[in-house]
Amino acid sequence: MTAATTFSRRAPRRFWGWGQLDATLDAREQATVKTMVEQLDVPFTERPVPQVHEFALPAPRVAAPPALAGCFSATPLDRLNHCVGKSYADLARMWLRSAPTPPDWVAYPDDEQAVIDILDWAQTHNVAVIPYGGGSSVCGGVEAAVGDSYAGVVSLDLERLNRVLEVDPVSRAARIQAGALGPELQAQLKPHDLTLRHFPQSFEFSTLGGWIVTRAGGHYATQTTHIDDLVESTRLVTPAGVLQTRRLPGSGAGPAPDRLVLGSEGTLGVLTEAWVRVQAPPRFRASASIRFTDYFAAARCVRALSQSGLNPANCRLLDPLETVFSGVGDGRFAILVLGFESADHPLQAWMERALELVRDHGGAYDLEAVAQSLATQGGDGHRSGAAGAWRDAFLRMPYWRDPAVGLGLIMDTFETAITWDRFEAFYENVKADVGAAIARATGQEALLSCRLTHVYPDGPAPYFTFAARGGADGSVASALGAWRDIKQAANAAVIAHGGTSTHHHAVGRDHRSGYEREVPALFRQMLAAAKQVADPRGIMNPGVLLDTVGRPVGIRGALEPNA
Ligand SMILES: Cc1cc2nc3c(=O)[nH]c(=O)nc-3n(C[C@H](O)[C@H](O)[C@H](O)COP(=O)(O)OP(=O)(O)OC[C@H]3O[C@@H](n4cnc5c(N)ncnc54)[C@H](O)[C@@H]3O)c2cc1C
C-alpha cells in the first residue's frame, strides 16, 4: 500500500487544505498571498506541505464487517482526509502534522442498502458513525471527536451515491442522491436544461446531502437564500428505520418532517436522497458595482433594496476593508455588488428602479458598465467588471488560504444575522469585541472586515473575515492557540449583541456554545427526545449539535486546547 492509496473514486484531495492535491496558485495569486502575509509582519518563506507519512495513525480499534469489507478503507490517506473538515483550525492542525482523532475506518457504501447495513453493524458493535459529504464543514461537523464511550468510529462517505435519479420536468423537480457534489449534480441536470442554482462558495467540494443537513446558504442574496426552500422531500436512513417524506409543493399538515431533517447535521441519520426544486438556467442578467463613501448609508440602501420587492439575486455589500480582501477595491469605499437574473424576462426595469434607490442613498456607479451587462445577455457578461472580479476572488479565496495558514497566519470567518433595527450597533459592537480579542491574542491590530452575504426584508446576514499573525514567533502552533481565544470571543459577541450563532455554516461542534444560548432549553430537550427515537443507541455524529443521551457531554473538538 502506498501513501496515496485510497478507496475514493474521485481525484485525490488535499487532506491539509482546499481543492485537489495538484491545485496551484498562479503568479498573481502568489503575489497577493505574499503581500497579505508581509503586511502582517510574517516572513514569506516556502514551508513544506504536510505528507501522509508524517502522521502516525493508530491501528483501527474494531474489525470491519466482513460482508462490507469491500467498501471499508483504513488507508492513511483516506483516514486523514476524513479526520477533520476545512475550518482554519482543521487546516492548522494538519499543518502541525496532528491528526486529532482519525476515524478507525472510512466506509464508501455503494447503495442505500449498504448504508442501512453499516448503521445496523455500528449499532450492534457500539461504533459511532459520522456521515461525510464533501467534508467542507467549517464548524467541526465531520471531526471524529466522539469521546471514549465508543468501540470505534466510522466516517461514512457518500461519494458513490452521486447520481441524479429522476427528473420531473413538469413540476420542475429532480430526485438526486445525497453524495452528489455541486458540479456533479449540475452536469447531470444540464442535459435537461435545468439547474438547482444553489451555489455556496464551497460548491466544488460540497454535496447536496451536506447542504440540506447544514441548511447551507447559496448564491441568492435574497428570497431562496438557504437550501431549505429548494427541498421538496427527503429520505433519511436512521438507525431506527427509513424516514421518507412525501413530495408536495407545500403543506400545512402540522410540523413539517423535512424541517427536522434540515439542519440535523448527521445526528439523526444519513440523508441518502432528496427531491429538490430545479429551474431553467437564467438567460437574462444585469449587474452593477456601486461605490459608497458612507458604509451605513450603503447599508440603508441595501435595506431599501431588500424591502423593495425587487429581489436581486446578488446584493453583497462589502465594507472598505473587505473590498481589499476581495481584490475589488482599495479600501476607500464600500462596494455593493448588485445583480439580477431571470430565465424569463429582461431585467432593465428592475435594474433601473434599483439604481434609483442607489442614487437616493448616495451610491455611485459606472452607467456604461451597467448598460454593457444588460447588453451581453445569455453569455458571460456577468463574469466581467467588478461583479466578475468579486466572483473570481470569491471562488479562489479558499485556495489562497492554504499557504497562508502554513505560514502561521490566522485566516477565518464567522457569520451571523441580525434585524435591521439593531444592525448598526451590532456591526460596531461585534467589530469592537472581536477586534479587541484579536489584539489581545496576537498583539496586533485587527484586520477584520465584513460583507453582507444575504439580506432579508427584516435584516442582513453579516459575514466577518479576519486575518492576523498568530504570535511573535510566527508558528502555526501559536496561531492556533490565538485562534481559539478569538473564536470563543466571536461566538460570544454575536450572541451577546443579539445575532444568531450561525446564519449558514451550521452548528457542528464549534458553534454549540452560542446555539445553546440561542435556542430555548425546552426545544433542545424536544430535539434530544427526537434523536433518542431515531438513534436509540446514540451512534450518529456524537458531539455535533447536541449532547447524546447517556454519552459524554460537552465535546468541543478544535476549541479544546489539546485537540
Ligand atoms: C471555503 C469554504 C466555503 C464555504 N462556503 C459556504 C457557503 O457559501 N455557504 C454555506 O452554507 N456553507 C459554506 N461552507 C460550509 C460548508 O461548505 C457547508 O456547511 C456545506 O453545506 C457542507 O457540505 P458537505 O457536503 O461538505 O458536508 P460535510 O462537510 O461532509 O458535512 C457537514 C455536516 O453534515 C453532515 N452530513 C453530510 N452529508 C450528510 C448526509 N448525506 N446525511 C447526513 N448527514 C450528512 C456531516 O456529518 C456534518 O455534520 C463553506 C466551507 C468552506 C471550507
Closest to 437 in 3D by CA, of 473, 468, 476: 468
**Does residue 386 have a pLDDT over 80?**
no
β partners of residue 338:
288, 315
Please tell me if the CB atom of residue 438 comes closer than 6 angstroms to any atom of ligand 1. Answer: no
* Pocket flag, ligand 1, residue 206 (CB < 6 Å): yes
Query: What is the CATH architecture assignment of 27-156?
Result: 2-Layer Sandwich (3.30)
Ligand 1 atom with the shortest distance to the CA of 236: 42
pLDDT tens, residue by residue, 180-216: 999 999 999 999 999 999 999 999 999 999 999 999 9
pLDDT score of 442 more than 70: yes
Q: Is the pLDDT of residue 456 over 70?
A: yes
Q: How confident is the model at residue 544 (pLDDT cuts 50, 70, 90)?
A: very high
Answer with the residue of higher pLDDT: 38 or 123: 123
85 lines ligand 1 (CB under 6 A): yes
CA distance 542 to 90: 18
Banded pLDDT at 45 (limits 50, 70, 90): confident
- Tell how far the Cα of 183 is from the centroid of ligand 1, in angstroms: 15
Domain with CATH 3.30.43.10 in the chain: 27-156
The Å distance, Cα 356 to ligand 1 centre, comes to 38
- Distance, in Å, from the CA atom of 558 to the CA atom of 100, rounded to the nearest integer, reads 9
Q: Which amino acid is at 494?
A: V
d(CA 345, ligand 1 centre) in Å: 33
Ligand 1 in reach of 363 Cβ (< 6 A): no
Instruction: Return the ∠ at Cα 427 (arms to 425 and 431), rounded to 5°.
Output: 115
Cβ of 267 below 6 Å from ligand 1:
no
Pick from 201, 337, 346, 218: which is nearest to 276 by CA?
218
Q: How far apart are the first and last CA of the chain?
A: 29
Most ligand 1 atoms within 8 A of CB, residue of 111, 116, 138, 206 to mutate: 206
User: How many whole angstroms from 41 Cα to the centroid of ligand 1?
Assistant: 33
Give, for ligand 1, the residue of 213, 464, 511, 546 to mutate: max count of ligand atoms closer than 8 Å to Cβ: 213
What contacts 24+ positions apart, CB below 8 Å, involve 160-164? Answer: 160/9, 160/71, 160/108, 160/109, 160/110, 160/111, 161/109, 161/111, 161/112, 161/115, 161/272, 161/273, 162/207, 163/188, 164/188, 164/189
Residue 458: per-residue pLDDT:
98
User: Which value, to the nearest 10 degrees, does the dihedral of the CA atoms of residues 186, 212, 18, 160 take?
Assistant: -60
Q: Separation of 226 CA from ligand 1 center, angstroms?
A: 13
Question: Among the atoms of ligand 1, which is closest to the Cα of residue 398?
Answer: 1
Instruction: Enter the pTM of the model.
Output: 0.97
443 to each of 142, 247, 383, 407, how far by Cα in Å?
A: 32, 55, 40, 17
> What are the pLDDT digits (tens) for 487-542?
999 999 999 999 999 999 999 999 999 999 999 999 999 999 999 999 999 999 99
State the average pLDDT over residues 301-312.
Answer: 98
CA distance 355 to 362: 10
- Whether 76 lines ligand 1, by a CB cut-off of 6 Å, is no
Give the DSSP letter string of 163-194.
-EEEEETTTTEEEEETT-BHHHHHHHHGGGT-
Q: What's the pLDDT at 3?
A: 61
Which residue ranges does the chain devote to CATH 3.30.70.3450? 284-377
Does ligand 1 lie within 6 Å of residue 87's CB atom? Answer: no
For ligand 1, whether the C-beta of 202 sits within 6 Å is yes
At the topology level of CATH, where does 284-377 sit? Alpha-Beta Plaits (3.30.70)
454 touches ligand 1 (CB under 6 Å): no
